[in-house]
Structure 1
Amino acid sequence: MKELTSYEGALCANCQAPLQGEYCHHCGQSVHSVLRPVHGLFEEFFETFLHIDGRILHTLPALFLKPGFLTLEYFSGRRVRYIAPFRLMFVLCLLSFFVLHIATDVIAQRIEQRQQRNAVVMDQDVDFSQAYTAQEVRRQLTAQLEALEAARAVGNTAVVAQIDQAEQKLRQQANTRLAELGAPAHASTAAPSAGDNGDGTSKPVHISWLPEFANQRLADFAQHIRNNAKALRGHTLAERREAWEHVAAGIYGALPGTMLVLVPVFALLLKLFYLFKRRLYMEHLIVSLHSHAFLFASLLLIVIAGMLNTWLKPVAGWAGYAAGLLQGALIVWVPAYLLVMQKRVYRQGWVMTCVKYWCIGWCYVWLLLFALIVAVTLGLAH
C-alpha cells in the first residue's frame, strides 16, 4: 500500500505555489525530480506501462462488445479509465491498415505463384509448321486461344496483360504459317489508349482558368499514374512485383489520412440528421471517433480471421472452418453494432433510428468509396 505523504509547507519549484499533492495545482509540474537513480526510472516506466495496460483492458472490450457504452461514459464525465477517443481511433487505424497491407502482400505472392504456373503454358511456342493446311493452323490456334481464355477468366489485371502478350505472339506465329500456305492472315493491332500520344506520354493537361504551374502539376500527376499503370503490366513477375510494392506503399500511405478526413465529415452528417436533438458538434465528433475506432478494430479482426482461415485450411480443416465462421460473424456484427450504438446514444424510437441509420449509412458508403478512390489515385501517382 502506498504511503501517505504530507506536502504541507512545500512550495512548487517552478511557480512557488503551495503544494497540496504530488502535482502543483497551478502549473501541473510534478514534485518528483528527474534527477534520480536508474532503478527509479525503471519503476516509473513499469508504473506508466501498467497504467496504460489497465486502460486498454477497460477500453477495448467495452468498445467491441458494448455498443455506445464508451461514448455514454465519456458524456457522463467518466473518462480517466479509458483511452481518449482520438488516440484510440488513430492507433487502431494504423494497426488495421498495417495488417491489411500484410494480407495484401500475401495475396500478391499467391497471385504471382499462379502467374508462374500460367506462364509455363503461355510462354510455350506452338509449332504451326506441322500444319499443312489453313484449317489445321486455325484449329491449333483456336485450341491455344481457348486455353488462354480459361486462364484469363481467373486472372487479375497483370495476368490479363501477360495473356494478351501470349495471344498476340500466337497470332503472329499463326499468321506467319498462313502466309507460307498462301491463306489470308488474321491481323490484330491494338489501338493507342485514350490520352496517349502514341509515344508513351500522356496528352498535356490544360485548364484555362488554372495557372500554368497547376496545369503542369496535373500533367505530372497524370504521367505518374500512367507510368505506374504501365509498370503494373510489366513483362516479368519481378517488374510487376516491384511496381505493386511501389504503388501499394503509396496507397497505404494515403489511406490513413483520407480516412481521418471522414471522421469530422461523418460527425457533420450526424449533426444534420440529429439537428433537433440540440447536441454540440463535439458530441457528434466523439460518436464518430468511437464508431471509426470500432470499424478499424473490426477490420483488424476480420483480416486476421481471414488470414487464419487461409493458413489453417490445408493443415487443420476444422480450425480453418472455425476461423471462416468467426470472420462471417464479425462482418454481420459491424452493421448491427452501429445500429444499436446509434439507438443507445441518441435515444430515439426504432423506426426513426432505422430510417436515419439507413440514410446516414447510404451517404457514408459513397463518402467511403470516394475516399478509397482518392487513396488509390494518390497511390498510383506516388
Structure 2
Amino acid sequence: MAKRRRKFVQCPNCGYTFEEVNNYCPNCGQENHDLNVPVKHLVEEFFESTLHYDTKFLRTLKYLITRPGYLTEKFNRGQRASYVPPFRLYVFISLFFFTTVAVFASKNLVMSDTTSASERLKTTDPEAAARILQADSLARMRVGFTFGDTAAAPGDTTGLIINEEVDNKFRSFLENEEQARQRLLKNISFMMFVLMPFFGFILYLFYRSQRRNYVEHLMFSVHFHTFVFLLIMFAILLEVVFPRISTEEWVFLISTVYLFFALRYVYKESYLVTAAKLLPVGFVYLVSLAILFVTTVGISVLLS
C-alpha cells in the first residue's frame, strides 16, 4: 500500500522549492510529508506503516499459520511487497508473546528454595521444617566436599566456599520473586533472539548441498519461530480459560509437524528425505535450546 503524502511546496527545513515528484528534499534529505495533522491521522499512519494494520498484515498472518514455508519461499524468490517483512513480523508477534508470558505464565518461572519452605512449615509443622533444613545442610556439605576432593587435596575448603557463594546467589535471586521473573523473561527474550540465527546456521549446514545463501535459512528460522510464538501464546491463553487442559504435548507435536511441512515446501526434497533430516535437525535444535536455557538461568542467577 503506497504511502499517502501531504506534500509541502517548500522544504520547512532548508527552504528548497519542491517539485511534484520530490518525496524527499534533494538539498537536505528531509521527507516531504506534513506531520502537523490531527492525532487521528498520525495514529492511522502508525498502524499502517509500522504494524501493517491493513490487509497486508492479515494476509501474512494467514499464510504463516496455514501454509508452512510459504512466506519464506515468497521472500527467497523476491516476492516481498505483498507481505510483512519477516523481522518486522517477528518483532510485532514477540511483543505480544512476551507480554502474554509475563501476564499469564510468568508464575511458572518462580522457584522456591528449602529455606522459604521451612519458614512456611515452622508455624504448621516444626519437625518437618527441621528435617528440611537438615537435609539441605547435608546436601550442600556433600557437594562442597566432593568439589573440594576433586579439585584439590582432601580437606580443601575451596569447594565449600564456591558452593556457598553460588547458594547465596541463588537465594538472593529468589528473595524477590517479581524481579526474578522479570530478569528471566528479559534474558529469555534475548536467548530466543540468539537462537534464531543459530537455527538458521543449523539449516545452512544440513542443506549446504543446495548452495543457498545463509539469509534464506535465516528467513526460514524467523518465520518458524514467529509461528511457534503464536502457537505458545495461544496455548497459554487456552490454559487460562481452561485451567485443567495441558497443552505442552500439543505445542511440541504441532511445532514438529509444522517444521516438517515447512522444510518440505522450502527445500523441495522428498517426504522421506525431509523426515530423515528432520530428526537430526530437531535433535540439534532441542539440545541447543536446552543448553541456552540453562545458561540463561545461570546468568540470571549470577547477575542478581
Q: Where does residue 53 of structure 1 map in the other structure?
A: 53
Amino acid at match of 1:87: R
| CA-based RMSD | 4.2
Corresponding residue for 1:348? Answer: 269
Q: What is the aligned counterpart of 1:380 among 295, 301, 304? A: 301
Secondary structure, aligned partner of 2:287: helix
Partner of 1:63: 64
What residue in structure 1 maps to residue 290 of structure 2? 369
Residue 193 of structure 2, aligned match among 257, 260, 271: 260
Counterpart residue type for residue 230 of structure 1 = R
- Counterpart residue number, 2:279: 358
- How many Å apart are 1:99 and its aligned residue? 2.2
The one-letter amino acid paired with 2:141 is S
Show the counterpart of 1:293.
226
Alignment of 1:74 with 2:75, yes or no, is yes
* SS of equivalent residue, structure 2 residue 242: helix
Corresponding residue number in structure 2 for 1:101: 102
Structure 1 pair 328–196 and aligned structure 2 pair: CA distance change class (3 A)? closer
Percent of residue pairs identical: 22
Q: 1:19 to 1:370 in 2, by over 3 A?
A: farther
Structure 1 alignment gaps of length 5 or more: 127-162, 172-187, 207-219, 233-239, 314-323
Q: Map of 1:331-342 to 2, 5 A cutoff?
A: 331-342=252-263
Amino acid at match of 1:370: I
Q: Which residue of 2 aligns with 1:185?
A: none
CA contact (8 A) 2:107 2:181 kept: no
**Aligned residues of 1:123 and 1:166 also touching (Cα < 8 A):** no
> What are the equivalent positions in structure 2 for 1:129-140 lying under 5 Å apart?
none
Q: The residue matched to 2:33 in structure 1 has which SS? A: coil
Q: Extract unaligned runs of 5+ from structure 2.
A: 152-160
Partner of residue 87, structure 1: 88
Q: 1:78–1:28: structure 2 CA closer, same or farther, 3 Å change rule?
A: farther
1:280 deviation in Å? 0.8
- What TM-score, normalized to structure 2? 0.73
Tell me the SS of whatever aligns to 1:252: helix
Letter in 2 for 1:56: F
- In the alignment, is the contact (CA less than 8 A) between 2:24 and 2:32 conserved in 1? yes
User: Any conservation in 1 of the 2:239–2:246 contact (CA below 8 Å)?
Assistant: no
Which position in structure 1 is the counterpart of 2:171? Answer: 230
The answer to whether the 8 A contact 2:68-2:259 is kept is: yes
**CA 1:291–1:168: 2 relative to 1, 3 Å:** closer
Matched residue count: 278
Q: Which residue matches 1:209?
A: none
Higher Cα radius of gyration: 1
**Shift in Å, 1:262:** 1.3
Within 5 Å, give how 1:309-320 maps onto structure 2.
309-310=242-243
C-alpha distance 263-168 of structure 1, shift in aligned 2 (>3 A):
closer
Shift in CA distance, 249/351, structure 1 to aligned 2, threshold 3 Å: same
